[in-house]
Structure 1
């Protein structure tokens, strides 16, 4: 049977550097490695990172993994553009020089502060596992409406490893004054220095609407612009900051390696959010009489989640005795109505069963046989706006 007939709800939605991404449910995608030794090796590296993640409570600022196997990783579907595309859609470039000539709009300041904190929390989570992302750039940051999450961990490695993916302005070469960090002209070693520098440049992008030095002509030949940026950053020469003073202060400290750890940075970015400074005092307050209504509502919601979990488990078990295609469509339909944006432990468990069901039916094996076009797929975007 043709794969598109066997799995009619599967759609090809993205072509990444090392993998193809398919939508399998309005809230779930699966990454499948491209053919090729390098791509499969990088994919195995990412699998190892998700194996580490699975042993800890999930970080809300990292794209959630529901299930993984040797030839596929099932992830939450961040259904909108990358941070790179979002920012580019808000500015105008000169076609001849590729310089940003106008920023039509910046995202609202409260949202920018939220994104700043989300990124810091994600990288701090990695640091708590003795890991560094190693490829922090806007293409690896995904959005679902205004929700922002960090993705793509094929370059992630232990702190102290060689920094391989150094791309200005999110990485910089060491100068002669930084011999303790590595050899001059190299990228040095992964750790708080490399991660916070990348975050500083990401914060600049988010808050100014273009990349570092993206608004000016540094060389006569546009092809030499990137090389000049590398040189300026190596010499610790940065553009002047004149935006929000609190965020600018964080950017400067990130660029100059002022945070001893990313955890320290994350503690700082959390204070940007409204009400965070007095959160402990608020949580310590006793529940007043009107708040009992909220408590009752929470109890009712908890009972409903337990009931839904039991029902879905029965449905999954029953589906094994029915036609796989019909069962899968029914599970997907019912499931999408009951799962919200912020998943509970029960929700994640349900999604894992859903993904395991697809794997048992051979989806990953079939997707790994050939490239999407050879399987009869074409890239489809329509579902982004309809679900």
Structure 2
């Protein structure tokens, strides 16, 4: 039986550097490694990171893993691809030089602040596990509508490990004044310095609408532009920051290694969101606000937190970790051992059921079949962003 007949709801949706990604449900994808030794080795690195994650309460700013096996990782489906694509859709480039000539729009300021904090919280979570992501760039930041999460952990390693994936403007080479960090011309080692620098450049991208020096050509030959950027960053020469002063201050501190830890940076970005909770001050300063509205607002805010906790309990949103256990067969929500049923399309409400769902697919032989050949050989045609509209 062909894979399409046995698993008619499986679709090929992405081709990554080391893996192919298949949708198995509108809210779940599975990453399957490519066949070469290097790609397989990198995939196993990411697998080990998810094994570490499984031993801790999940971080809401990291793409969640529901289940993993030696030849596949089941993850939540971030349906709008990457931060890179989102930003590129918001600006215009000169095709010859690749210079950004016009920023059509910036994302709303509250959303930009939230994204900054989400990224900091994700990297701070890694730091709490003595890990550094090691490849922080917009292609590894995924979006689902306006929700942002960090993904792709094949370069993630312990703090103090050599920094290998150093790509400007999200990594920089050390200069002669940084002997304490490593030898000049090298990338040094992974740690708060490397991670906050990358975050600073991501924050610049989010708030300015283009990459560092992406709005100008620094050399006569556009092909030499990238080399010039590397040189400028090595010498700690950055573009002028003339946007929101509060956000610019954070970007500048990241670029100049002013945060002792990423946890300290995360505490700083968290303050960006405090304005959402200052309703009482706003009400007090606004004498035109009717008294009944002030009172009702306070009552609603007081009741919201326990109500949300009750909802989380009812829906099974706990902090329990998901470990790679093997399910004991049977059917789940219309999914038999022979394939996928239709009833599950709207019936995967919590992590536990999603985990069991993924385990059943693995037991049905899905991962083995997907690993048996390239997607085209298996009869798949790539379906980019199947759920990215609406």
Q: TM-score range by the shorter chain?
A: 0.7 to 0.9
Distance 1:2 1:191, change over 3 A: same
Q: Is the 8 A contact 1:162 1:188 kept in 2?
A: yes
The answer to whether the Cα contact below 8 Å between 1:319 and 1:327 also exists between their aligned partners in 2 is: no
Gaps of 5+ in 2: 282-297, 317-327
Change in CA separation of 1:20 and 1:176 when aligned onto 2, cut-off 3 Å: same
Give the 5 Å matches for 1:254-293.
254-275=254-275
Report how far residue 305 of structure 1 moved: 3.6
Residue deviations 1:44-64, cap 9 Å, x none? 000000000000000000000
Residue pair 1:6, 1:325 contacting (<8 A) in 2 also: no
Cα offset, 1:275, TM superposition: 4.3
The residue aligned with 1:73 is: 73
Change (3 A) 1:185 1:384: same
C-alpha RMSD of the superposition: 2.6
Matching residue within 359, 362, 367 for 1:364? 367
Corresponding residue number in structure 2 for 1:195: 195
Contact 1:63 1:76 in 2 (8 A): yes
Q: Deviations over 1:68-117 (max 9, x none)?
A: 00000000000002000110111111112111110010000000000000
* Structure with greater proportional helix content: 1
SS at match of 1:214: coil
The Cα shift of 1:295 comes to 8.2
1:165-191 Cα offsets, whole Å, 9 max, x none, are: 000000000000001111110000000
Cα deviation for residue 243 of structure 1 reads 0.3
Q: How does 1:28-107 map to 2 (within 5 A)?
A: 28-107=28-107
The equivalent of 1:335 in structure 2 is 347
CA distance in 1, matches of 2:299, 2:244: 41
Matched, 1:3 2:6: no
For the residues of structure 1 that align with 2:312 and 2:156, how far apart are their CA atoms? Answer: 37
Question: What is aligned with 1:241?
Answer: 241
- Separation in 2 of the partners of 1:292 and 1:112? 27
2:160 matched residue in structure 1: 160
Identify unmatched segments of 5+ residues in structure 1.
Answer: 282-287, 307-315, 340-346
Say how many residue pairs are matched: 363
8 Å Cα contact 1:83/1:139 also seen in 2:
yes
TM-score (norm 1): 0.88
**TM-score normalized by structure 2?**
0.87
Q: Deviation digits for residues 202-239 of structure 1, max 9, x if unmatched?
A: 00000000000011110000100000000000000000
1:147 correspondence with 2:147: yes
